Amino acid sequence: MEKFDIIIIGTGAGGGTLAWKLAPSGKRILILERGDFLPKEKENWEPLAVAQGRYKTPEMWRDAAGKEFSPYQHYWVGGNTKLYGGALLRLRESDFEAVEHWDGISPEWPLKYRDFAPWYDQAEALYAVHGARGIDPTEPPASNGYPYPALPYEPRMAEVSAALKKQGLNPAPIPLAIRLPQDHNGRQSDRLHIELYDGYPDPTGAKADSHVVGIQGALQYPNVTLLRSRKALKINTDTSGRRAVSVTVAHEGMAETYQADTIVVSCGAINSAALLLRSANEKHPNGLANSSGQLGRNLMIHNNGIVLAYSAKANPSTFQKAILIPDFYHGADDSPYPLGAIQNMGKADPLLLADAVGDDLGKDGKDAAHFANHIIDFFITAEDLPRAENRVLTDAEGNIQLHYTPNNLEAYRRLREKLIRAMDSVAEIEGVGGSTRYYGFKLGIGGVSHQNGTCRFGDDPATSVLDRNCKAHDLDNLYVVDTSFFPSSGAVNPSLTAMANALRVGTLLYN
């Protein structure tokens, strides 16, 4: 049996970036991915096909009551980044400190923003982030500008941004990971050639995900091997329990085992915890790397929600993922505690609006196409706090069960109200006051695209799963490199922090 220097399990934001970082080292690297390449097909950009879950896993998870639900989870080369919106934001400086919230304390990290700052720089460059510094008053310090300038707003979004500024707010461009075509002089075009970007697969490769950036980059090196359609079942240790020696996977109904000197788990926060729990043995009876009892606990998925703002003024934008409203991240004049972040999301297709608009559909002759052409779509994120009782469990067959009770909901409620008041004021400024109506919903337990926190890192093996370098306290050669390591979630998309951390840990594993 061939033995590798490093096995990386998973190809998402953590695993894909780590593979890219380690590929030039010359080490024999095996990447194991439970999914296959996402097919390039016409359904990539068919809203109904995507909404009906064509690319989402068909597996069902269970909640604390044993009720099945369908998670927003994707198993492809590139992991969840194949359908992410490409919003790559840094955690704020305060997110690395202990912060008081409406529902408790968000804990301090063992490393600070300054420790991640250079890796954020590198991750933004690697993933071709377009943005503009100096507009968002909450953004942390950076040693340079974004690698590429912010994408230009479409006319309607420029109008909304101007109206928000008139209210004293600070709308800023969302930092986006997108690789625009270049002209013959190597200059990037400012013309967007994709409209369905947020929540859709991108067959053009313009969206900078961890497949087209990380894995494709890593596979340019002959020392890197990618094996697809292999679900990791268990990590095996030596008799001492101190070293992970191999990974057993399922492939076409058969079990295969691969050996390595170093094993890195990068399956996403929920599946990484589940894999380590399934890997229990005599030396690790409660799961691999779980002497603290913290494995799988402190699951965070954010208080995320969709708000659809209908106005009498039309919104013909095609690429709407444009504006970040950061002003309430640290609080507000009527809130001493942080609220969160507000962003545009991609435009909803008319076919998908019926459930959101409900009984208003068809009133006064307003059909789905009318609503779609008058709605501005927002995604709001408030922090949820780590709770030991919010956790990942596995049953005897290894199936996933999530025990999750939302917390810090007051921040979410107030953030939604801030957005509604801001958009009401936009309508007043534009002379169509009173015409705005709001639709949407808060994501439930299945909305796990921002999952993190199940293998928190820290200095004390009694209270954390990983050390500062994301190595398991209990083993000498096992690492977890994805969003599992977060002690707290902040209120921005976690992808960039996972990428930056993968570059940080990759530097330690390189030699």
Average pLDDT, the chain: 95
Residue 304 dihedral angles phi and psi, to the nearest 5°: -105, 145
Residue 175 has pLDDT above 80, yes or no: yes
How far is Cα 9 from Cα 274, in angstroms, rounded to an integer?
A: 13
Would you state the pLDDT for residue 279?
Answer: 98
Q: Please identify, among 443, 465, 496, the residue that sits at the C-terminal boundary of a domain.
A: 443
Residue 164 has pLDDT above 90, yes or no: yes
pLDDT tens, 411-448?
999 999 999 999 999 999 999 988 899 999 999 999 99
Secondary structure element (H or E) that encloses residue 124, with its range: helix 113-126
Residue type, 33: E
Both 99 and 242 in a single domain? yes
Domain residues for 190?
153-197+303-382+407-443
Both 375 and 461 in a single domain? no
pLDDT tens, 8-52?
999 999 999 999 999 999 999 999 999 999 999 999 999 999 999
Flag the least confident range among 101-105, 113-117, 193-197: 193-197
Both 100 and 19 in a single domain? yes
Q: Residue 140 domain-assigned?
A: no
Q: Residue 202 domain-assigned?
A: no
**What is residue 426's DSSP assignment?**
H
Both 438 and 480 in a single domain? no
Closest CA to 452 of 304, 299, 290, 303: 299
Using CA atoms of 184, 190, 191, 195 in order, give the dihedral in degrees to the nearest 10: 130
Residues in the chain: 511
- Tokens 């599992």 correspond to 484
Both 325 and 433 in a single domain? yes
Both 431 and 322 in a single domain? yes
Closest CA to 91 of 59, 123, 113, 118: 113
Both 346 and 365 in a single domain? yes
**DSSP notation for 372-417:** HTTEEEEEEEE-----TTSEEEE-TT--EEEE-----HHHHHHHHH
Return the percentage of the chain with pLDDT > 70, whole number: 97
Q: Residue 146 domain-assigned?
A: no
Q: Residue 139 domain-assigned?
A: no
Both 331 and 256 in a single domain? no
Beta-carbon contacts of residue 178 (< 8 Å; ≥ 6 apart): 86, 128, 130, 151, 197, 206, 207, 208
Secondary structure element (H or E) that encloses residue 5, with its range: strand 3-9
**DSSP notation for 131-168:** E-TTS-TTPPP-SS--SEEPPPPPHHHHHHHHHHHHTT
Number of CB atoms found within 10 A of residue 180's CB: 17
Q: Residue 395 domain-assigned?
A: no
Q: Residue 474 domain-assigned?
A: yes
pLDDT tens, 345-399?
998 887 778 788 888 888 888 888 899 999 999 999 999 999 999 999 999 999 9
* Number of domains making up the chain: 2
Both 292 and 314 in a single domain? no
Residue 363 dihedral angles phi and psi, to the nearest 5°: -70, 140
How far is Cα 189 from Cα 180, in angstroms, rounded to an integer?
A: 6
- pLDDT band, residue 109 (cuts 50/70/90): very high
234, 244 Cβ separation under 8 angstroms: no
Average pLDDT over residues 208-229: 98
For the domain that residue 328 is a member of, what is the CATH number? 3.30.410
Flag the least confident range among 90-94, 264-268, 362-366, 446-450: 362-366
Flag the least confident range among 141-145, 273-277, 320-324, 346-350: 346-350
Q: Residue 137 domain-assigned?
A: no
For the domain that residue 488 is a member of, what is the CATH number? 3.50.50.60
pLDDT tens, 439-482?
999 999 999 999 999 999 999 999 999 999 999 999 999 999 99
Secondary structure element (H or E) that encloses residue 14, with its range: helix 13-22
Is-above-0.85 flag for pTM? yes
Distance set, CA 319 to CA 35, 175, 329, 505 (Å): 29, 14, 25, 35
Q: Please identify, among 398, 419, 443, the residue that sits at the C-terminal boundary of a domain.
A: 443
Q: Residue 203 domain-assigned?
A: no
Both 164 and 20 in a single domain? no
Both 494 and 364 in a single domain? no
Determine whether 114 is exposed, middle or buried from the number of CB atoms within 10 Å of its CB (0-12, 13-18, 19+).
exposed
Q: Please identify, among 443, 466, 493, the residue that sits at the C-terminal boundary of a domain.
A: 443
Burial per residue of 62-80, b for 16 or more beta-carbon CB atoms within 10 angstroms, e otherwise: bbeeeeeeebbbbbbbbbb
Both 297 and 310 in a single domain? no
